[in-house]
A and B are shown apart, each in its own frame.
Chain A
Amino acid sequence: MTVSGPETPTRQHPLAELFEADAAPLIEDAADNHTVLTVDRGHLLEVLRRLKETPELDCDLLLDICAVDYEDRRPRFEVVYHLTSLDKGHRFRVKVPVEENDPVVPSAYGIWKAADWFEREAYDMMGIRFDGHPNLRRILCHEAFQGHALRKDYDPAQRWLFTDQETMTPSWTDEEGEDDGDHFEAQVLNLGPSHPATHGTLRTVMRLDGEVITRADAEIGYLHRCFEKMSETHGWNQVIPYTDRLNYCSSHLNGAGFALAVERMLGIEAPPRAQVVHVILSELSRLMDHAVCLGAVLVDLGALTNFWYFFQVREEIYGLLESCAGGRLTVSYARVGGLAHDVPADFSERVRYLLGYIPKFIDDVERLITTNKIFRDRTEGVGAISAEDALAWGWTGPCLRASGVPYDVRKAYPYFTYGEYDFEVPVATSGDCYARYLVRIEEMRQSLRIVRQAIDDLPSGPVITDDHHAALPPKEKVYSEMESLIWHFKLIYEGIKVPPGDAYAFVEGANGELGYYIVSDGGGKPYRVKVRPPCFAIYQAFPHILEGHLVPDAVAILGSLNIIAGELDR
C-alpha cells in the first residue's frame, strides 16, 4: 500500500513570493480547493506565522491538526494543518513530513491557541511530539495506555486492562508556588464524568477559592471508540453508520458530510433530489440539535418545562427520520452518491406539517425564557468570549457567531443546494451564554425557512447516482440482470475504489464546521479518516473560560457550548 507523494510543480506558484526564499514551501493547488504547502519542520513556524500575519493570506482560523502514517513512505509520518482565512475565503493545507525515529515538530500553540488539544491528540494517536507545547499529554486514551493507536502497525485487536486507579492529575499541580498564602485553602472540586449537569461523560476538575473557580482542567476521552481506526478497517460506505455516532443529536448531518467528502474525491455528485432531501433532513437535524442543547441547558438552570416542549418537537422530527431511513437516532440514511432509498410518498406532507407544528413550540419557549429576568441574570455576561479569542481557539458555528463572527459554511462555501436558498446568519456580539441562546433560537427559525424553500422546490428523479462504481444498482436490476448483479457483488466485496490522494471536505454541523480529512490509497477502504469535530475546538477553551466564574456558572457555560461527547471523543 503506497500513497503517492506530492509531485514537484512545474512552475512557480503565485503565492511563493510571499515567503522568504530559503523558507519557501512547496506550493501546489489541490483539487479540493485547498492550497497545499509542504514545508520542512525547521521552517514550519515561520511559514505558519507568515500565513497568519501576511495581509494577503490572513489565516485567522486554525481548523485542524492531524498526523497521517504513510507506512511505506519515507519519511513515514506527515503532520497536516488545515487553515482558513475568513475574510479572504481561501484555505490552506500545510504538510510537514516527519521521520519515524525523530517524530518531533515545533508546536503551533504560540500562534493559534487552537493547536492545544489538536496537538495533544496527534501525540496521543500517532506519537508525534510537539516541541514547546505547554501540556503535551495523552488526551483521548488513558494515561497508562501503551503505544499509539492510529499508527498502522498498532494491532487494533490488542486489549489493555487497567487495574490501578490512575486518574488525570490536573495540570496545575506541577506548578510551584501554587498557594500564595492570602487565600483560604484551595478546594478541588470534581464535576463529572458522571454528573447530571455534564451532558455526556465529561470531567472537569476545578480549583476553588470560596465559590470562585481559579483554575480548571478538563479530561475527555471517556467515550472514545476509535472511530478513525475502525474506519480504516471497513469500506467507505460502512463508515456511515459509524458517523451516526459522532454527534448523535444530529446524526444525519454527519453521514451527509462524510458522503459529500467521498463524493468529492470520486468526482461525482448526488442527484438533485438527494441533495435537497439532504438539506431538509440536515436542517431538521440541526434544529433538533439546538432544541436538545437549549432544552438541556434550561433544565440545568432550573427551567424544566422548555425541555418537554422541545422534546415534543424532537419526537416529531424523529418520526419523520424514521419514516425515511428506518432508524430514529442512528439514521444511516446517506450513502456515497446519494441516499439509501427514496423518501416515503407522504414526505412533503409530513415536512409541511412539521413546518406548521414546530414554530409554536419555539414561540412558547421564547415566551417563557427570552425576557425572563432570572434567566437573563444567570446568563448575561457569563462565559463571555471575544471574537478574537473565539477565533484563536478555533471556534466555529453558533458559539462563534454569538461572538459576532458571521462564519457559516452554508454561506461561505455553499454545498448541496444551500446556495439557492434565502436565509440569514444570526449573529450576536456579546459572546456570552445568553447570546448563544439567542443565536440558537434564531438559527432554528432560519433552518425552518430553508426547509420551507427546499420542500417547495423538491425535484423528482433518482436519489442515488447511477454510477455503479460508487452506488449499488437498484434492487430490481440486481434480481434480474447479470451485469447489475456483478456490480453489486464487486461493490460489496471490494468496496468503492476511491482514487488515491487526500481531500478535506466540510459542512456546517450543528456545532460548527464539521470537517473530514480523508486519505485514500485507491483501495476499497479509507487509508485514513480524520474528523474535525467542532466540539473539540470549542471545549478546549472551556477550562480557560471558567476561570473567575462561580461553580453554578460552569454548568450554564458547559450547557451553552453544547458539547456532544460522541463527537468530542469519537
Chain B
Amino acid sequence: MKNVPTVNVDRPSQSIGERIYLVPVIKGLGVTLRHFLRNLFGQRDVATIQYPEVKRQYSERLRGRHILTTKEDGSLRCVACYMCETICPADCIHIEAEEDPEATVEWEKRPRVFEIDLLRCVFCGYCVDACPKQAIIMSREHEMAFETRDEAVVGIGELRQKGPIDKEDLGYRPYF
C-alpha cells in the first residue's frame, strides 16, 4: 500500500450560509427547477419513455425469445446435435432426436421434440453461440407472459420462424 495516490474527500467545511440551511436549499431548488423547466419546455431530452405507447429502441444484440430457423424448403436447420442442450447453464432445453426421412444423405438427424422452458431460461445466449448450424437464434421479443407454467414450455411449433427470416424481429445472432 505504499505510494498509492490518494485524494482526501473528508468532510468539506461548512460556511455560515450552509450552516443556517437556507443557501443549500435555494441552491437545491435551483437544480430541481432547472430540470423541471427543461422537461416542461425542452421536451426533447425527457428521460421518461411513455411505455407501452412508446418503446425503447434496443440494439440488434438483445437476447429475447428464441427462433428456430428453417431451410429454404421450410424444414428446420436443427440437426439435433444436443450442443445447445449441453451448454445451457439453466438446463432449460430438451431435445429428442429422430431420423430425418427426407434426408439426402444417409443418417441425418432432426429434432422430434425441441422444447425450451422459457421460465427457466436465463437468456444468456449460450445456445446461439454453441449452435454449429445457426439453427437457433434469438429475437428481440422480450415481453412474455404466461398463465400457467406448462404454457411457458414452448416447442417447435411456437419457436419455428414464422415467415422469411428478415421479417422477424432479429436479436442476438452469431457475429463474425
Point out residues on A near B: beta carbons under 8 Å: 86-87, 89, 234-235, 237-242, 305, 308-309, 312, 315, 322-327, 330, 332, 340-342, 344, 364, 367-368, 370-374, 376, 380, 405-408, 411-412, 423-430, 434-435, 438-439, 441-442, 446, 472, 474-476, 478-479, 485, 488-489, 492-493
Contact = CB atoms under 8 A, between A and B. Distances in A.
B5 A425 contact: yes
Q: Which 5 A-B residue pairs are closest in the complex by CB-CB distance?
A: A326-B61, A323-B59, A238-B89, A241-B124, A326-B63
Interface string B1-31: 1101111111110100011010111011011
A427 B6 contact: yes
Contacts of B83: 489, 492-493
Contacts of A488: 130, 132
A322 B172 CA distance: 11
B62 A372 contact: no
A475 B176 contact: yes
24 contacts: A87-B1, A89-B1, A234-B89, A235-B87, A239-B89, A240-B124, A241-B90, A309-B35, A312-B47, A322-B61, A322-B62, A323-B59, A330-B124, A332-B126, A368-B28, A371-B14, A373-B21, A380-B11, A423-B5, A424-B7, A426-B9, A430-B11, A485-B132, A493-B83
Nearest to B28: A368
Given A325-B61, A368-B28, A406 B10 contact: no
B59 A305 contact: no
A241 B126 contact: yes
Contacts of A374: 21
Q: Which residue, A326, A442, A474, has most C-beta atoms of chain B within 10 A? A: A326
B122 interface: yes
Contacts of A439: 9
B175 A475 contact: yes
B12 A370 contact: yes
B59 A322 contact: yes
Contacts of B27: 367-368, 371
A207 B27 CA distance: 40
Nearest to A230: B89
B87 A238 contact: yes
Interface of B: 1-2, 4-12, 14, 18-19, 21, 23-25, 27-28, 30-32, 35, 47, 58-59, 61-63, 83, 86-90, 122-126, 129-130, 132, 134, 138, 171-172, 174-176
A437 to B, nearest CB: 9
Contact of A411 (B4, B18, B23): B4
B86 A427 contact: no
Contacts of A332: 124-126
B172 to A, nearest CB: 5
Contacts of A405: 1
A332 B122 CA distance: 10
Contacts of B25: 372
Nearest to A485: B132
A326 B172 CA distance: 7
B8 A427 contact: yes
B9 A474 contact: no
Contact of A371 (B2, B12, B123, B132): B12
B150 to A, nearest CB: 20
Contacts of A412: 1, 4
Contacts of B125: 326-327, 332, 340
A324 B61 contact: yes
B1 A373 contact: no
A242 B6 contact: no
B89 A242 contact: yes
A408 B4 contact: yes
Contact of A315 (B47, B88, B122): B47
A442 B87 CA distance: 41
Contacts of B87: 235, 237-238, 492
A434 B11 contact: yes
B10 A341 contact: no
A478 B132 contact: yes
A309 B12 CA distance: 23
Contacts of B176: 474-476
B19 A373 contact: yes
B110 to A, nearest CB: 18
A341 B32 CA distance: 41
B141 to A, nearest CB: 13
A427 B126 contact: no
Contacts of A407: 1
A238 B62 contact: no
Given A87-B2, A372-B28, 11 more contacts: A324-B61, A326-B59, A326-B172, A330-B122, A367-B30, A370-B12, A406-B1, A407-B1, A427-B8, A430-B10, A489-B83
A395 to B, nearest CB: 15
Contacts of B32: 305, 368
Nearest to B1: A86
Contacts of B62: 322, 326-327
Contacts of B59: 322-323, 326, 344
B18 A438 contact: no
